[in-house]
Chain A
Amino acid sequence: DTGVSQDPRHKITKRGQNVTFRCDPISEHNRLYWYRQTLGQGPEFLTYFQNEAQLEKSRLLSDRFSAERPKGSFSTLEIQRTEQGDSAMYLCASSVTVTSGANVLTFGAGSRLTVL
């Protein structure tokens, strides 16, 4: 088990372009989360999945953002028509549902987006 993997680690794009980030969670984890983090701030929740179902979306997730987890394994986060305000670190985390006890999130290293 290599933990949560995110790709790419860094992405520089021009305003107006589309970008896609991929997250591969820990294999037995059925919950997957996306967060966004800007400099000096804590991570902000964007959305999460249980298996392939997207259970919640933050109001931060505008219509330009879409996330999928088609087979309940890896997930993609796409940003269309990027804006400079989208520049941030995009973090993915996964966890496994347990009937009692802690629900501990394991985070990936993140994908840093810079929109020029």
Chain B
Amino acid sequence: DAKTTQPTSMDCAEGRAANLPCNHSTISGNEYVYWYRQIHSQGPQYIIHGLKNNETNEMASLIITEDRKSSTLILPHATLRDTAVYYCIVRLSTSYDKVIFGPGTSLSVIP
């Protein structure tokens, strides 16, 4: 699985969009980008994934650059409950073995 790089921490004002970047410059053509988040004292929670096209679900939007070397997770209207550590992971679509988590980005949503 390709390596990812994320900022250690970010702040976002409540009600504003939170844009969390992830670099994955060594991504291969059949690797997906996944995002999980972990709220304090809970297990990680799946948010969204994508391959080439931008994706949106009820939780977030995922924007993947055309060269696929980076992506951005967007929380359109951040709330205090979105304060969490956000993990960007790249892996093969057919990979069913272990998911490797990096340190992630600690997002603080500020009132």
Contact = CB atoms under 8 A, between A and B. Distances in A.
Interface of A: 4, 31, 33, 35, 41-45, 48, 50, 55-56, 58, 91, 93, 95, 97, 100-110
Interface of B: 32, 34, 36, 41-46, 49, 85, 87, 91, 93-104
Nearest to B49: A102
Given A42-B103, A56-B98, A109 B49 contact: no
A100 B99 contact: no
Given A31-B96, A108-B43, A43 B49 contact: no
Given A35-B101, A103-B91, 10 more contacts: A42-B103, A42-B104, A48-B97, A50-B96, A55-B97, A58-B98, A93-B43, A102-B32, A102-B93, A109-B42
Given A45-B98, A45-B100, A56-B98, A101 B93 contact: yes
A104 B101 CA distance: 14
Nearest to B102: A42
A103 B95 contact: yes
Contacts of B102: 42
B93 A107 contact: no
Given A41-B103, A102-B34, A110 B98 contact: no
B96 A45 contact: no
Given A42-B87, A43-B44, A100 B96 contact: no
A107 B91 CA distance: 18
B96 A105 contact: no
A106 B101 CA distance: 14
A97 B96 contact: yes
A72 B100 CA distance: 23
B43 A48 contact: no
Contacts of B45: 107
A68 to B, nearest CB: 18
Contact of B99 (A50, A105, A110): A105
Contact of A91 (B34, B43, B94, B95): B43
